[in-house]
A and B are shown apart, each in its own frame.
Chain A
Amino acid sequence: MTQDRASRRLPVVACIIAALMLAIAPMPDWASPFRPDWVALTLIYWAMILPRTYSVGTAWIVGILLDVAQGSLLGQHAVALCFVAYIAVKFHLQFRVFPVSQMTATVFAILAFYQFILFWVNGVAGVNAPAVAYWGPVITGTLIWPLLTLFFGSVRYRARP
């Protein structure tokens, strides 16, 4: 039973770790403002699909790891990801029946909200950043969402016993 659960968790945990690695992967300077919010996207998907396993608590832990990995203020991504996971879990039944286009639009809104929280924390802490650092990830994240769902879908069906 526990082994079964562990084996079902492994693919998702691997996805989250991969997202963390992509979040710190090197990019050319011109492209780095357009790095998608890999971690946020991954959490939206898995919180929507498995809301009882991956929810606010998971998001918080992953957020703290992301904060340390990126050297941002400890708690910044954690609080933002908590809200993202909350929205994904709260409305997971609606999200699951959304067509791809509607879900993509929703993801755009969630990512914008996520960046707004980061922006707000930066503002309070006095960190200056160009506007593109906030908008870039929202745009690329939205564009990549349909592809990402295809990938996660295949992970999900392969992982299913």
Chain B
Amino acid sequence: MLTARTENQHRSQKTPALGLRLLLFAGLSILILVIDHRENYLDAVHRAIDVTIHPLRVIVDAPVAMWHWLGETSAGRNELRLENSRLKAERLLTHARLQRYSALEAENTRLRAMLEARTRVRDEVRVAGIMSVSANPFRHDLVIDKGLNDGVYDGQAMIDADGVVGQVIETGLFSAQAVLISDPDHALPVEINRNGLRTIAVGTGEFDRLDLPFLPNNADVRQGDLLVTSGLGGAFPAGYPVAIIDNVTRIPQEPFAAVSAKPAAKLNQVREIMLIWSIADEDVPETPE
């Protein structure tokens, strides 16, 4: 009885104001939308709410993480031995390649010193896991398990073993959201590794295709050319592989050729990515060991 009466009181107090409440909350949302879109005053609010949301992400991620963990722990001895020997062989190969690389880097440093160019940047790389949490339905993005606490910042570049994956767009305390290079709203300054021709690679919304809409018909571009980051946008350090040109169609009556490329990174299969911290180096060691 008592509850029924209070409910009725509530009704008489609240129901007439329903339209007013809609107006109030919708207006507030639109105000927040405008502020969030134009300025970044709301970053602190964003982060505070993000921390409260974080447990949900952890719970959602848990079954998949558990599954992976189970797979790892229950792998048979034979499997592990095989994997171990494969990894050893791989490590040997990578090491061999690195030897040449360090010699090249030393030579490059010397040459740059001769030219008195000071554009050397040292990159620090750290591994981050991808949480099995899907995020914005309107974007190609992913959530990583490192955040402000680990020094992640907005606009930070991410790569995987094969190439550029994307960049961080929203940093929470313990996790961050990143947009992939295949997102239709993402554009990446690149250059063709063969001849240094600079252009922009735009995402298409498909994981296995980037468009290069600004290459003129007479541009020197061929199928199989490797695109690397040019470092011009400032977000990505120069020289990381992005994609390989897989189709060049020159249309005589159009000003630009239709060029598409296949991303080097496996955008929809990554489990782990690497975050890059670019450190502008003042004293580059003359001979790295």
Contacts and interface: CB of A to CB of B under 8 A. Distances in A.
Interface in A96-151: 118, 121-122, 125-130, 133, 137
A37 B268 CA distance: 23
Question: Chain A binding site: helix, strand, loop or mixed by DSSP?
Answer: helix
Interface in A39-67: 51-52, 55-57, 59-60, 63-65
B100 interface: no
Nearest to B31: A75
Interface hub of A4, A82, A130, A133 (most chain B Cβ within 10 A): A82
Interface residues of B, number: 51
Contacts of B169: 71
A73 B25 contact: no
Interface string B1-35: 01100010011001100110110011011111100
Question: Chain B binding site: helix, strand, loop or mixed by DSSP?
Answer: helix
Nearest to A77: B29
Contacts, number: 133
B60 A76 contact: no
A52 B8 CA distance: 9
Nearest to B130: A26
Nearest to A51: B15
Interface size for chain A: under 10, 10 to 19, 20 to 34, or 35 or more residues?
Answer: 35 or more
B36 A52 contact: no
B200 to A, nearest CB: 16
13 contacts: A1-B3, A20-B56, A25-B133, A29-B268, A32-B137, A52-B11, A56-B21, A59-B25, A68-B49, A86-B18, A86-B19, A130-B205, A133-B137
Going nearest first, the 3 A-B pairs with the smallest beta carbon separation are A79-B29, A75-B33, A129-B138
Given A86-B22, A128-B184, 15 more contacts: A21-B56, A24-B133, A26-B64, A29-B268, A55-B18, A55-B21, A56-B22, A57-B25, A59-B25, A60-B28, A71-B136, A74-B33, A76-B29, A129-B139, A133-B137
